[in-house]
Chains A and B, each alone.
Chain A
Amino acid sequence: MTWKRPLAVVAAFAVGASLAVVPAAAAKPTITMSGSTSVAPLAALLAKKYIADCGGCVTFKLLQGGSDVGISDVASGRVTIGNASRDPKPTDPGGLVFNKIAHDAVCIVTNKANPLPGIDEAGVQAIFGGSVRSWSSVPGSSASGTIDTFVRTPASGTQDAFQKIFLGSTRLFSGASQKASNGLIQQSVKADPNAIGYVSLSFADGLHTVPYKGVACTERNAKSGQYGGQRNLYMVTRGPATGAAKAWLKWITKSAAAAAVVNTEWVSLQ
């Protein structure tokens, strides 16, 4: 029995020592981020480029969890930056600064078997509001039968943006199927020939994107400002950003390198 004990002590020391080494090596400033799953892929690409550009001047930690998670994390000081894909709301904690970093297009999508040639505001409101429920009464549709509408859960940033940009005061059809993520909407629309839904542009692969008011939902049309379904992406700080975070936010909004990264699938502000 007794010989096991020193061994366990040694093991405990070894574990403790290896843990202690890690923070000691990271003397550089660390920027921690959490929040929106729509912003996270962009933030990761930007961080990688930033580290390469400034010669590893900072380290990043990136967590996900939804816009509201990011906002409450930054408000309580758990992270340096909270990522958000929705505009500020009256219930948000005071003292937060919403730093706009990019635009993102929200696309109306249908199954590839039903390449709808276009839709206008009234059409979107009729379909997602539930007053038109049959594809046969939608002009240009090659599908027949009932329309299956897929929307996001009320607490999502994309849902918030969709309501503001496309629906206005129209109330969402109460029978619409709610999904918890962009990816689940993508999957559901891909599997259902009668489906219509909306996703962030970077999730439109494998789906037909419906031109809105005659403008196709592409990265180029979003950049030129012609495409109407755009929303803002934010990095939220508690008070104005300082130190390493300030330099990082300035790099995102001012440098050409950052703009090139943003313009791969999002729309730069520059």
Chain B
Amino acid sequence: MAARGPQTAQRRDRTDRRAELLLGALAAAVLLLIAFMIAFVFAKAWPSFAHNGLAWFGAGGNLDEQLSAIFNSPSDPSDYVYTLHAWPLIYATALITGISVVLGTILSMLAAMFIVDFAPGWMRATLQPVVRLLAAVPSVIYGLIGILVIVPFFGNQVISAERKESVQYVIQLDGSSILVGVLVLTVMITPIMVAISVDALRSVPATWTEGAAALGVNRWRALRTVGLRAARPAIVAAAILATARALGEAIMLSMVTGSVAFAPNPLDGVTFFFEPARTLAAQIVDGSEGLSVKPFGETMYAFAALLLVSSAFLSFGGWLARRSMRKYTLAPR
């Protein structure tokens, strides 16, 4: 026994080293793959950015007509049309993602607090698996429900004929709108946020909230001031994950809002919510049929590049936010 001890330890050591090398190689391969992907997308997208400069991000003209002109470019590569002002897409992406994530965060926070602290045992036992199931539903199913049920309902019942007439020469209000997009997207991203927040709230030591209770604070206040605060980094992580999912959501949004490259104007009052829009990801889905037309394909890659950059910024922002909240966590991360 005494003689074999060090040998086994040594062997275990070697196995560890081998595993370390293998995992390291895999991690490096993943990094390399990401680097290649970014380089590839940007190389493909370059002509579109180079031709338009900063005006690419600006507003101007009708985006759908610009896309048609790009698609119908003449055959000579030196005559390719690239002129594009992508502002309506960028604006719609920020608008729909932003509203959905804010709504989703509030909803999921309340739901998580209810599940952790207020729900009776049997309800908690059913709610939790249901939330996890909802988080795993593929987005195309939400899209189908959206286009078969919600869009016609809004178009035929909710939006009045007078409202449709008031803007009829500018835009048509047929039900596919930012409101339906935000509604469905919120329903889509909330479950995953609830699941993460529940785990986070539960990992707050009972002694902390009990301490607060011992000082005479009621349950709601103890949860709000102690539990929520301690769980903040995880909640930020949940919001980041949800934002990433919302940013990349393409099929569903293409089905329920991705109709017109239009920048809805908040000054229109209630009508604003019934106006259609198209996000960057939905544009890539809608335009995928024309990828083989070179300038059109390069324009689609430019949209993809913008999405890549924004998700990179998102990860970085999330890291910063978590760093600044480190003081609230139990152990240094």
A residues lining the B interface (CB < 8 Å): 65-69, 71-72, 89-92, 130, 133-134, 144-150, 153-157, 171-172, 174-180, 184, 187-188, 191-195
Contact = CB atoms under 8 A, between A and B. Distances in A.
A175 B172 contact: yes
Given A174-B64, A187-B147, A156 B172 contact: no
Contacts of B175: 192
Given A155-B289, A177-B260, 12 more contacts: A68-B289, A89-B293, A145-B161, A145-B164, A146-B168, A148-B155, A155-B286, A155-B290, A157-B289, A177-B259, A191-B152, A191-B155
- Which label, helix, strand, loop or mixed, suits the secondary structure of the A interface? loop
B1 to A, nearest CB: 22
A177 B67 CA distance: 15
Nearest to A73: B292
Interface in B17-72: 62, 64-65, 67-68, 71-72
9 contacts: A68-B292, A146-B173, A148-B172, A153-B287, A154-B287, A171-B65, A178-B258, A187-B147, A195-B174
A48 B151 CA distance: 39
Contacts, number: 120
Nearest to B75: A90
Given A69-B291, A146-B172, A180 B260 contact: no
Interface residues on B, range: 35 or more
Contacts of B65: 171, 174
Nearest to A181: B289
Contact of B293 (A91, A156, A172, A195): A91
A194 B287 CA distance: 27
Interface of B: 62, 64-65, 67-68, 71-75, 147-148, 151-152, 155-156, 161, 164-165, 168-176, 254-255, 258-260, 262, 276, 285-294, 296
**Which 7 pairs from chain A and chain B are nearest by CB?**
A155-B290, A72-B292, A66-B289, A90-B75, A191-B152, A177-B259, A175-B171
B289 A134 contact: no
A252 B289 CA distance: 26
Contact of B296 (A65, A67, A155, A193): A155
A176 B74 CA distance: 26
Nearest to A159: B68
Contacts of A67: 289
A72 to B, nearest CB: 3
A178 B64 contact: yes
A175 B170 contact: yes
B172 A149 contact: yes
B259 A178 contact: yes
B165 A146 contact: yes
Nearest to B70: A154
A194 B164 CA distance: 11
A110 to B, nearest CB: 14
B286 A178 contact: yes
B38 to A, nearest CB: 24
B260 A176 contact: yes
B62 A156 contact: no
B104 to A, nearest CB: 26
Contacts of A157: 289
B289 A156 contact: yes
A67 B288 CA distance: 11
B254 A180 contact: yes
Contact of A154 (B67, B169, B174): B67
A124 B156 CA distance: 24
Contacts of B289: 65-69, 153, 155-157, 180
A149 B65 CA distance: 17
